[in-house]
Chain A
């Protein structure tokens, strides 16, 4: 199935399960990814996010459950018949082919004549700014350049869904930020569905319309990044996406955002001591020892912190408002 640009496809997982012998990697997950959205599968390693992506791609068999792309069940379809294209973590460029032939590979498989497929491949390389490296072999390219070629190779099939397996993890931080922008731009321009596997919550927050937090083969929470950040459902989500303190109180677990904790204010108060502090420019990050929480973080505005600076080891009273404490499912 091929689709033109601007035509994303919905992806729906129904009780999707992947078991390797007795180990269940993905445990009966349900998820609907709307056409044209940017979905990030987020979780620690071994949470099942990569297995899920590989099942969607068709590189892993579905154990039980159904996988729908568009309105068809594609459990047994080969990868190329699903209208998906995958960009591999290692990029998986063919080392014996130059950039043009790498990108033109899928057209060659379809029997497109050599002139036509090379012309289309060059257009695709231009789209990712790699036109001038067309004649190079993958080994002659930097990591970022290889990634652009891999992207072009995935996009040339005009997929309805683009699958990205940890696409930014191999890049240095500067390049990572630039590629992040690039992915967002491509997503906007192409309008197709992106499914992106990552273990970085910053990446997921920055890119996704829909963040799916996974843990031990299950979906902990799925929703827009703001919803996730402001209303985490579980302690795992609150801890994994960061910026939250998980507090044990009389009526169960609560999550409080680190930047909503006040020094010497708030409805609910407790005492702690400063264990570490870091200057971050716009803010100062404090780590406190507090009874009832294993690692208590406070983010204070830089100017306010230096009005009454604290030293390591200093006792401090902290507090927060009722409205800022979100109940968590245990």
Chain B
């Protein structure tokens, strides 16, 4: 009886004295850090980015950050610029404390490093050179329209897809965002990159840097906030007091 009680009690005492074995014991890492001291990439990404960019960088409504081609296309300085100060012409807000956001420079560095570590892949373009990232030249609208009709319209002019030329859409997406998505594509929703512009991503003739610049310039010419704001405000569907 007594031996039994000791046999029962001993493991309990050891478990308690060993502290760290019982589920209730607290690890140092469980202590909540000050918000600005959080430097873990996953915590930062999951609380600040994933609502728009998708869990694990995929399937969000905004740019697919988990696309290795995107990661290869954009350099650190540019990423830092967009994260810190926001991206003009889009909904991407400024996250740096210096711009009214909540993140320190160290946290932004941690996010960039984390994205690189998680989502970058070596030699993702397989030797091919993609068009340059920045849309810093103005292309030719006429040529852009022709290229669009030849290379993009077969999918984007289908009834359910045609809104890529809708003024409302283009008003909300800047030239740079259009360029990035034409070059890098969206692997998560089956949208091809610049080199695989056939349906289903089958290899086709790559778009040249000039083609991309021209298409973006053409789409930009369709952007017309005035056309959107001309839409009348709906009349009250119900009578209101």
Is B one of A's binding partners? no
